[in-house]
């Protein structure tokens, strides 16, 4: 494929991987859209290694692969041959988005490469650390660290990309809170499944469900403050949609439902687009 065809295919994989983020990414323009789309795919590739449920892909295997990938992402030129060698024994258990990491890396605009590489390398390191620890969260500090590695640092990366592309300056600490809040919603939504299928709980010792709701809402409140510095409509729309979906998902959970209905999601998207 040429680069134009490859980018079109990347958007296909993005849509198949996550409709939640595909839609807001389509709000972005030109190079920024390409940078964020492929950064998401790179991080989704890592996430699929961390979350892999095949018995052959043990926590030790995840730790080893992710640590190696973290180092590969520190190099100026990504060594795809070495990457594929790492995955070779487990490739039948890995999805397309993971096996094609090099394609997403190729598509990141040159000016954004270091921003995306650094964030992805740090994420791989953090995921490796937590895989080795079997994701055993005992304290608020543990929860803060885990949610930083898998989501908070994404907020920092996005802030760096906003500044790189559009000169939009935002608060990095608030960006971390935004990411943490979104991840905490996922933890609440998947709490029973994580415990039953993986034997993992991301909830600190002694915390009630209400404590986790309070943690989530406190971090999402930072997202509203974060957006006060954004004066570019396309970036603001990108940030507003996941936040609104998170709040409405929280409301559904409080009402005793597992998630929002498809109709509610579509209505939320429409409201944001028309705002």
Q: Which class for 37: exposed (0-12), middle (13-18), buried (19 or more C-beta within 10 A)? A: buried
pLDDT confidence of residue 20? 77
pLDDT confidence of residue 258? 81
The band of 192, judged by pLDDT with boundaries at 50, 70 and 90, is: confident
Domains of the chain: 1-113 (no CATH), 135-275 (1.10.600.10)
User: DSSP label at 259?
Assistant: S
pLDDT exceeds 90 at position 239: yes
pLDDT confidence of residue 7? 95
pLDDT digits (tens, 9 = 90+) for 43-67: 999 999 999 989 999 999 999 999 9
Rg (CA), the chain: 18
Q: What percent of the chain stands above pLDDT 90?
A: 84
pLDDT confidence of residue 61? 97
pLDDT confidence of residue 266? 86
Give the Å distances, CA to CA, from 61 to 53, 58, 68, 169, 213: 12, 5, 11, 39, 33
Output the CA angle 153-15-251, nearest 5 degrees. Answer: 65
Q: What is the mean pLDDT of residues 103-130?
A: 97
Give the Å distances, CA to CA, from 160 to 42, 66, 153, 166: 17, 24, 11, 10
The band of 72, judged by pLDDT with boundaries at 50, 70 and 90, is: very high
pLDDT digits (tens, 9 = 90+) for 250-267: 999 988 888 888 888 889
Distance CA 242, CA 269 (A): 9
- The whole-model pTM stands at 0.94
């Amino acid at each position: 494929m040429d680069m134009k065809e490859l980018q079109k295919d990347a958007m296909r994989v993005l849509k198949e991987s996550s409709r939640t983020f595909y839609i807001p990414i389509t709000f972005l323009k030109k190079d920024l859209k390409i940078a964020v789309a492929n950064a998401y795919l790179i991080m989704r590739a890592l996430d699929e290694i961390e979350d892999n449920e095949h018995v052959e892909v043990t926590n030790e295997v995840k730790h080893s692969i992710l640590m190696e990938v973290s180092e590969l992402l520190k190099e100026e030129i990504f060594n795809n041959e070495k990457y594929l060698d790492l995955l070779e024994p487990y490739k039948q258990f890995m999805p397309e988005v993971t096996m094609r990491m090099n394609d997403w890396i190729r598509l990141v605009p040159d000016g954004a490469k270091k921003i995306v590489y650094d964030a992805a390398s740090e994420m791989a390191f953090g995921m490796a650390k937590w895989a080795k620890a079997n994701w055993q969260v005992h304290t608020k500090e543990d929860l803060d660290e885990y949610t930083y590695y898998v989501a908070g640092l994404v907020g920092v990366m996005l802030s760096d990309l906003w500044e790189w592309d559009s000169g939009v300056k935002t608060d990095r600490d608030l960006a971390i809170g935004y990411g943490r809040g979104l991840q905490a919603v996922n933890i609440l939504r998947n709490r029973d499944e994580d415990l039953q299928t993986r034997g993992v709980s991301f909830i600190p010792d002694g915390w009630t469900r209400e404590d986790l709701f309070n943690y989530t809402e406190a971090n999402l409140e930072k997202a509203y403050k974060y957006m006060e510095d954004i004066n570019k409509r396309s970036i603001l729309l990108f940030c507003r949609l996941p936040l609104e979906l998170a709040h409405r998902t929280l409301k559904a959970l409080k009402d005793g439902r597992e998630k929002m209905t498809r109709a509610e999601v579509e209505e939320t998207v429409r409201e944001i687009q028309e705002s």
